[in-house]
Amino acid sequence: MAFKERVFSGVQPTGNLHLGNYLGAITKFVALQDTYDCIYCVVDLHAITVWQDPPELKRTIREVTAAFIACGIDPKKQIIFNQSQVAEHAELAWVFNCVARLGWLNRMTQFKEKAGKDRENVSVGLYAYPNLMAADILVYRATHVPVGEDQKQHLELSRDIAQKFNVDFASSIASNGYGEQFFPLPEPIIQGPATRVMSLRDGSKKMSKSEPSDYSRINLTDDADTIAQKIRKAKTDPEALPSEEEGLKPRPEADNLVGIYAALNNTTKAAVLSEFGGAQFSTFKMALVDLSVAKLGPIGSEMKKLVQDPVYIDSILADGSARASTIAGETMKAVKDIVGFVRRS
């Protein structure tokens, strides 16, 4: 059976959005809207797998929504909403809790990392998180999912769940008139050069909202002065920039800044080096400041404007949720038939 092509992805409303989220995820979301019908979700149910301060959670849900819009996702053409407004995510996740095997979840490296030594004390939700992620995608029967490297294992699990559901319920799927396969096996979209943005203080660590030093990251809401200061203070080494990409290999901080420049300017590292090879960092950093301020400044100010109007943001989320619910409701009805639940017609 051919499934309608549809993109789904989610961003967690936790902490500040930074350059890594922008280059690694949101710009890709923006690009995909020309080719696909897209559903972009602020995954608040995922966020509470670890403690979130309630007023802060509300603020960040709206902030991520504002970022989606400010970065250029069209909320009329695409669907932008927050997960908790569409109950079918949690409902399908329960069914998937009963499809996925304990052994599958035990292999999830992100859980192992996040739980660390404190396994006995983390939430059950953190453990079951990948099943909810599978439900997010499959409740829309989405076929394509833009994800970063760190989410590939979760996406594979979504495929395994879809596959097991299709096989376990094959005869019920057929007898209820849903064809041969009910769920598509969603594929990752990894477009363009993998944009892994690293910390400005340590080129071997990912840029992250949980890093204590704010100088390690550029937040989407940083103003021009702050951006300039952070780039000027970014860790580098004393050598000039190399002319070939090969020369970046042993120099993670240089590699990161050149990568950021290339991604912001929509070119390759090689092209950046052909322009700046041999230049000192002081020169290159000035160019990077100008480029960053030119690209991120307007987004930051648009975000700030949008978050000052929560009524507007909430109306976008309500509209998106209503449209998402229509699709999710259809899927959930079918799932109930397939699993053998009796439902109101």
- At residue 14's C-alpha, the angle toward residues 12 and 17, to 5°, is 85
User: Is 209 part of the annotated catalytic residue set?
Assistant: yes
CA distance 186 to 177: 22
Options 19, 23, 38, 43; binder of ligand TRP; rule CB under 6 A: 43
Count of Cβ atoms closer than 10 Å to residue 258 Cβ: 25
Range 74-133, binding ligand TRP (CB under 6 A) = 133
| From 79, 93, 100, 145, residue interacting with ligand TRP (rule: CB under 6 A) | 145
The stretch near ligand TRP (CB under 6 A) out of 6-14, 203-211, 248-256, 318-326 is: 6-14
* Contact call for residue 17 and ligand TRP (CB under 6 A): no
Q: Whole-number minimum distance, CB 133 to ligand TRP, in Å?
A: 4
Cβ-based nearer residue to ligand TRP, 43 or 260: 43
Minimum CB separation of residue 136 from ligand TRP in Å reads 4
Per DSSP, 242 falls in state: P
Q: Which residue type is seen at 68?
A: F
Active-site residue 305, yes or no? no
Active-site residue, 114 included: yes
CA distance 85 to 43: 10
- Shortest Å distance, C-beta 12 to ligand TRP: 5
* Among 7, 12, 24, 52, interactor with ligand TRP by CB under 6 A: 12
Nearby residues of 11 by Cβ (< 8 Å), 6 or more positions away? 17, 21, 25, 26, 40, 41, 42, 43, 64, 68
Write 304-309 long-range contacts (CB < 8 A, 24+).
Answer: 304/221, 306/65, 306/66, 306/69, 306/70, 307/59, 307/62, 307/63, 307/66
219 binds ligand TRP (CB under 6 A): no
Tell me whether residue 8 or residue 178 sits nearer to ligand TRP (CB atom). 8
Cα separation, 14 vs 24, in Å, equals: 16
Residues at the contact surface with ligand TRP, assessed by CB under 6 A:
8-10, 12, 43, 46, 133, 136-137, 145, 147, 151, 154
